[in-house]
Chains A and B, each alone.
Chain A
């Protein structure tokens, strides 16, 4: 489903604008990451995208059409899976009953519900807990179940507001796998998250919102290129012999060692210079003088997080 937001804005009770002038186009079968500090207007934007909140101005179109009547809204909503923030479960229902309830609300037939329930439980590794009261599930499992609720009807547009909340690393990895799979199936996914590393290599596009305004939007690679940050992070690969002396030299030069490890069979470390690049030749010369045999020294590409740090004023409304 292709989604277009044109000049979208929302003010509550004719008061201040929570969001204004949002223009975005989300191509079908892509994943859009929505980034912004708390109170930036992300949830408002997502709710309007899910047709659950009426825009004060502007328009949302789905595959070129904009729902106007209640019936049209209902039809569109049946093609959307929306996970908002703060939507608790029915604690007395088991995951199977919970998914069946929403399947019935969506008007699916019994056979389709049974099939979808099994698929979702398997996809989110909840089969063993299918008949346990939801109130007895761990926080991560509950979050998975909430995500599963959005998948029961195989939506064309999946909107997830902070879906990784409460998920452990394994859960996050599973979520990425699920979203990758949905993208492959042609589902459009819009996801907001504070954990930018999660979005970095998952999203096709990102949009950064601050204080209710769209700051930047586009393909992840393009944005990183555009906002290439003067982040002086380099990776050194060294021969094993003499590598142990590197730490002392780096400390003397007041270099921040971000990580050490092994790259292509050789000891490596990624480091961030405190000064500008002109300090690098001197550092390398000093390393060689102290018997550290540097094989390669390569600059690391900026990440989404760096771009966000650069453009974010980190102000909360």
Chain B
């Protein structure tokens, strides 16, 4: 461990020094202190601010209860901005007087006999406040049948028709205020780690890839993974400087007014997610950076990470956490991050009150998945930097990736459907797993040296794909056996669609950027997507095998056409993959004995 840490420090040093050269380090320290000050000021403003905006924010986050009803029943007039005007008090008094006289006017001694006492009190009060005190054109729709109206009338009589002007103050005390500051600091740490760090990493890597400056670095004896670690840590160094005071604030606030264990748990999850997203940034930077500059890569990563975080904010700030939110939390760790950030300081949704399997699933599974997938992504990125003609992932690594992805998808669905026996939802896992499986199959294809289409050993890849699907089916069977066995037609349908998605990915991989193939690939993706939806539908209504050939309903010709397409689409894709791979080999046959030069690292065999 110590050796690894020493090695990491040695590897990171040049990149961190380069990133913080000259006055940059001092500048970043200044920015970090400024951010710390802003966090404290913002937290204080949010906790103790008396304006409607601050109140709305507190209500949105769930730090304050809506109190309009209480104020209404007490006949208090709330003033948000001092100095408070007396005009609303006068208007309200006139409204109460109008209501009083309307109550007396419509009183029916027979129908409203049970309210006689209140009527008598109202009658006595009416002698003190004549109707002239109300605006002449003031209308009232007061009614004896409404209990809240009676309550308000009684209260008006009690206070002698003189409503109280209450100056609004935040209900939060100092303890809560510290909690808000801590929550803001923790939230900022999450944003820095999961948005800024990956975006900066992708920009730095894209710049290196675009300008072809990685070769001299690998020539210094640093391995691919060393370079990836160095570039990532270098790019994240400014983020780390800004994050340091925030971390101190978050920990201190958790000690004073929150739950330190939960804060540390949130930070651990944020760190793991930051690592995973940074590795995604590295892969995107390496791949896209060769053709596009760092600008588009950074914008793309910003969109991706922002969407990821906004999903968490949209779901995580709900005041109630149901099965849907918990299930989503497993697949999208930004949900538990946002939830945990709030719950560490304010127990709003009783999220941490969940126990047993659900709590473990929504907390530990995303953490483990982020760590495992982050490590796999870093290995893939390291091999890409090494620029060797090997697959991005070994078979063992890809199998682990498939297992983690499958567990995440199935657990998510199991938590979401929570014993309701919703087979349609369960088969949604096939749609969810399709993308990770496509990525894994593509990661098993050896890299091409240069921009040429890759050669795909189809048989080998499809055997591996079969293994990944088998893992997924095994996980589904283990966690929800009764649902799987009762929905076999949908399963067949869905598996066909997922296989088509994988074949399409391979076809596009070995075809390069030919638009016709791209269009054909798009159509295959679309048809596979529709088939997945159909599979979900078939599963949910307990369909039989006959239901698979749905086009027979429109006539035998359509039915036959469907059957032909079911066979033809995979055959055409397989043929295309074989032909695409053969084109990579064609020059060898054409050139027999003749040798060609390829510029190293960027070569393209024609």
B1-32: contact bitstring with A at CB < 8 Å (1 yes, 0 no)? Answer: 00000000010011001100100000000000
The CA-CA distance from A97 to B14 in the complex, in Å, is: 10
* A17 interfacial by beta-carbon distance below 8 Å: yes
Which of B218, B588, B595 is in CB contact (< 8 Å) with A14?
B588
Which of A15, A53, A70, A102 is in CB contact (< 8 Å) with B216?
A102
B223 touches A74 (CB 8 A): yes
* B123 interfacial by beta-carbon distance below 8 Å: no
Most interface-central of B217, B230, B596 (chain A CB within 10 A): B596
* A295 interfacial by beta-carbon distance below 8 Å: no
Contacts of B587 in A (CB 8 A): 15-16
- Residues of chain B at interface, number, CB under 8 A: 47
* A78 interfacial by beta-carbon distance below 8 Å: yes
| Distance in Å: Cβ of B252 to nearest Cβ of chain A | 35
B595 touches A77 (CB 8 A): no
| Distance in Å: Cβ of B3 to nearest Cβ of chain A | 13
* B599 interfacial by beta-carbon distance below 8 Å: yes
Which of A41, A86, A102 is in CB contact (< 8 Å) with B220?
A102
The CA-CA distance from A279 to B328 in the complex, in Å, is: 95
| Distance in Å: Cβ of B129 to nearest Cβ of chain A | 79
Contacts of B222 in A (CB 8 A): 74, 105
Which of B454, B597, B603 is in CB contact (< 8 Å) with A212?
B597
| Distance in Å: Cβ of A20 to nearest Cβ of chain B | 5
A54 touches B388 (CB 8 A): yes
Asked whether A101 and B18 contact (CB < 8 A) given A13-B455, A106-B221, the answer is: yes
Asked whether A41 and B218 contact (CB < 8 A) given A14-B585, A16-B587, the answer is: no
B191-232: contact bitstring with A at CB < 8 Å (1 yes, 0 no)? Answer: 000000000000000000001110111111111000000100
Chain A stretch 188-229: residues in CB contact (< 8 A) with chain B: 211-213
Chain A stretch 34-58: residues in CB contact (< 8 A) with chain B: 38-41, 43-44, 47, 50, 52-54
* A149 interfacial by beta-carbon distance below 8 Å: yes
A53 touches B600 (CB 8 A): yes
A90 touches B596 (CB 8 A): no
Asked whether A44 and B598 contact (CB < 8 A) given A13-B584, A52-B219, the answer is: yes
Asked whether A15 and B595 contact (CB < 8 A) given A70-B223, A87-B215, A97-B21, the answer is: no
* A65 interfacial by beta-carbon distance below 8 Å: no
* A88 interfacial by beta-carbon distance below 8 Å: yes
**Stretch from B61-69, B106-114, B444-452 at the A interface:** B444-452
* B60 interfacial by beta-carbon distance below 8 Å: no
The CA-CA distance from A20 to B598 in the complex, in Å, is: 13
The CA-CA distance from A105 to B387 in the complex, in Å, is: 19
Which of B13, B14, B598 is in CB contact (< 8 Å) with A12?
B598
B603 touches A18 (CB 8 A): yes
A75 touches B455 (CB 8 A): no
Which of B217, B588, B594, B600 is in CB contact (< 8 Å) with A43?
B600
Which of A41, A47, A84, A101 is in CB contact (< 8 Å) with B595?
A41
* B601 interfacial by beta-carbon distance below 8 Å: yes
The CA-CA distance from A83 to B60 in the complex, in Å, is: 59
Contacts of B117 in A (CB 8 A): none
A88-109: contact bitstring with B at CB < 8 Å (1 yes, 0 no)? Answer: 1110010001001110111100
A15 touches B588 (CB 8 A): yes
* A82 interfacial by beta-carbon distance below 8 Å: yes
Contacts of A39 in B (CB 8 A): 596-597
B595 touches A317 (CB 8 A): yes
A104 touches B389 (CB 8 A): no
Contacts of B599 in A (CB 8 A): 43, 85
| Distance in Å: Cβ of A183 to nearest Cβ of chain B | 21
* B138 interfacial by beta-carbon distance below 8 Å: no
| Distance in Å: Cβ of A212 to nearest Cβ of chain B | 3
Q: Could you say which interface size class chain A belongs to?
A: 35 or more
* A25 interfacial by beta-carbon distance below 8 Å: no
The CA-CA distance from A216 to B144 in the complex, in Å, is: 114
* B605 interfacial by beta-carbon distance below 8 Å: yes
B10 touches A16 (CB 8 A): no
A211 touches B594 (CB 8 A): yes
| Distance in Å: Cβ of A47 to nearest Cβ of chain B | 4
* A154 interfacial by beta-carbon distance below 8 Å: no
The CA-CA distance from A116 to B106 in the complex, in Å, is: 102
A78 touches B594 (CB 8 A): no
* B591 interfacial by beta-carbon distance below 8 Å: yes
| Distance in Å: Cβ of A27 to nearest Cβ of chain B | 23
Chain B stretch 85-117: residues in CB contact (< 8 A) with chain A: none
| Distance in Å: Cβ of A52 to nearest Cβ of chain B | 6
Chain B stretch 375-392: residues in CB contact (< 8 A) with chain A: 387-389
| Distance in Å: Cβ of B85 to nearest Cβ of chain A | 59
A90 touches B213 (CB 8 A): yes
A17 touches B596 (CB 8 A): yes
Contacts of A75 in B (CB 8 A): 221
Give B17's nearest chain A residue, CB to CB. Answer: A104
The CA-CA distance from A89 to B594 in the complex, in Å, is: 36
Chain B stretch 556-606: residues in CB contact (< 8 A) with chain A: 584-588, 590-591, 594-601, 603-606
* A302 interfacial by beta-carbon distance below 8 Å: no
Contacts of A6 in B (CB 8 A): none
Contacts of A89 in B (CB 8 A): 213
| Distance in Å: Cβ of B88 to nearest Cβ of chain A | 61
B588 touches A52 (CB 8 A): no
The CA-CA distance from A84 to B452 in the complex, in Å, is: 21
B221 touches A18 (CB 8 A): no
A1-41: contact bitstring with B at CB < 8 Å (1 yes, 0 no)? Answer: 00000000011111111111000000000000000001111
Contacts of A93 in B (CB 8 A): 18, 21
Give A86's nearest chain B residue, CB to CB. Answer: B212
| Distance in Å: Cβ of B266 to nearest Cβ of chain A | 35
Asked whether A74 and B221 contact (CB < 8 A) given A13-B605, A54-B389, A88-B213, the answer is: yes
Which of B211, B449, B450, B605 is in CB contact (< 8 Å) with A16?
B605
A87 touches B389 (CB 8 A): no
Contacts of A11 in B (CB 8 A): 588, 605
| Distance in Å: Cβ of B301 to nearest Cβ of chain A | 21
Asked whether A41 and B585 contact (CB < 8 A) given A77-B221, A87-B213, A107-B10, the answer is: no
Asked whether A16 and B603 contact (CB < 8 A) given A84-B216, A87-B213, A105-B14, the answer is: no
| Distance in Å: Cβ of B580 to nearest Cβ of chain A | 12
Contacts of B449 in A (CB 8 A): 12-13
| Distance in Å: Cβ of B205 to nearest Cβ of chain A | 14
| Distance in Å: Cβ of B509 to nearest Cβ of chain A | 13
Contacts of B600 in A (CB 8 A): 43-44, 47, 52-53, 84
**Chain A to chain B contacts (Cβ below 8 Å), 29 pairs:** A11-B605, A12-B604, A14-B588, A16-B590, A16-B594, A16-B595, A19-B595, A19-B597, A20-B595, A39-B596, A43-B599, A50-B219, A52-B601, A73-B221, A75-B221, A80-B219, A82-B216, A82-B219, A88-B211, A88-B213, A101-B14, A101-B18, A102-B216, A105-B221, A105-B230, A106-B220, A212-B595, A317-B596, A317-B597
Interface residues of A (CB under 8 A from B): 10-20, 38-41, 43-44, 47, 50, 52-54, 70, 73-75, 77-78, 80, 82, 84-90, 93, 97, 100-102, 104-107, 149, 211-213, 317
Q: What 6 pairs between A and B have smallest CB-CB spacing?
A: A212-B595, A15-B605, A104-B14, A39-B597, A17-B595, A105-B220
Q: A12-B605, A47-B600 are in contact. List 16 more A-B contacts (CB 8 A).
A: A10-B598, A12-B604, A13-B454, A17-B596, A18-B595, A43-B600, A53-B600, A54-B388, A54-B389, A84-B215, A84-B600, A88-B211, A101-B17, A104-B17, A212-B597, A213-B595
